[in-house]
């Protein structure tokens, strides 16, 4: 059997271009892009997904080794994959923002722990809410939705030197602002309750100036914050589910743009 250069480049392009877009999405997406996972494992996962998805994808352009179009096509596949992954990553960053706001109001901002999902240190409450969000994401099939978005992206945005337009990038930026507003909504019940507690401390300090508010106020703020957090966990989870649904809608709009 004799293969010409054109046939070989066409065969390589059918696997190379999907691998670039899928790999970029997995590197930027939450859970899959966990820094605790070795790079080789993430690359192997991208390769397995490419082998599984490639036969169901539309025809790909042949692989070009040189030329401006080849570089533009490569850059566009990286940008599309990163945009899909970042869209989901913003959702989890909103959860972390809500946890950090609650930690600051409770006085737990000093309680830091290593976050393996981000590779940095974050407040304990942020790590707890992030873990809850990851479990909810997996339970709702978010990882399967990510794979569906990747398959759909090859039909909505075929491989080529053109990719996402200016409106799509503007929509991604608007989605980031909306998700961070959702993180504030997650923390709002605890912030309001702790604000009332702090106002009570202010009245106590005026009524009894000799009272040691640092010794009395911290355990009361911590207890009140934990009680409010326990009561609002169900609402936080429902809000996360709604934000995940809205993110799926935004992903459809992004792929259409």
Within 35-150, strands assigned E span 112-115, 120-123
pLDDT band at residue 142, thresholds of 50, 70 and 90?
confident
Q: What is the pLDDT of residues 47-57, one digit of tens each?
A: 888 888 888 88
- Determine the pLDDT at residue 227: 84
From the number of C-beta atoms within 10 Å of its C-beta (0-12, 13-18, 19+), residue 24 rates as: buried
| Lookup result for tokens 């702090």 | 198
Report, as an integer, the average pLDDT of 232-236: 84
Of the listed ranges 93-102, 137-146, 172-181, the one predicted with least confidence = 172-181
In this prediction, what percent of the chain has a pLDDT beyond 70? 84
For residue 159, give the nearest of 6, 44, 40, 12 by alpha carbon.
12
Q: In this structure, what token pair is assigned to residue 121?
A: 């240190």
Question: Is residue 118 predicted with pLDDT exceeding 60?
Answer: no
Q: The dihedral of CA 27, 32, 33, 39: what is its sign?
A: negative
Q: In this structure, what token pair is assigned to residue 142?
A: 């978010």
């Amino acid at each position: 059997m004799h293969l010409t250069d054109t046939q070989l480049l066409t065969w390589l392009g059918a696997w190379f271009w999907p691998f670039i877009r899928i790999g970029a999405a997995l590197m930027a997406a939450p859970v899959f892009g966990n820094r605790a996972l070795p790079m080789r494992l993430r690359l192997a996962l991208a390769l397995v997904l490419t082998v599984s998805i490639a036969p169901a994808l539309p025809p790909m352009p042949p692989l070009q080794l040189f030329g401006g179009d080849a570089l533009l096509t490569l850059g566009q596949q990286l940008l599309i994959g990163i945009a899909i992954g970042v869209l989901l990553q913003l959702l989890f960053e909103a959860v972390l923002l809500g946890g950090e706001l609650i930690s600051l109001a409770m006085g737990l901002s000093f309680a830091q722990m290593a976050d393996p999902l981000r590779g940095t240190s974050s407040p304990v409450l942020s790590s707890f809410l992030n873990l809850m969000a990851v479990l909810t994401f997996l339970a709702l099939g978010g990882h399967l939705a990510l794979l569906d978005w990747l398959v759909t992206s090859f039909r909505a945005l075929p491989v080529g030197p053109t990719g996402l337009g200016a409106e799509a990038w503007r929509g991604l930026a608007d989605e980031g602002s909306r998700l961070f507003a959702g993180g504030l909504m997650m923390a709002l019940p605890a912030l309001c309750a702790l604000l009332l507690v702090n106002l009570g401390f202010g009245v106590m300090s005026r009524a009894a100036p000799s009272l040691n508010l640092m010794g009395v106020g911290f355990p009361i703020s911590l207890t009140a914050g934990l009680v409010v957090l326990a009561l609002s966990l169900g609402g936080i989870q429902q809000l996360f589910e709604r934000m995940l649904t809205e993110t799926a809608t935004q992903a459809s709009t992004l792929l259409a743009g």
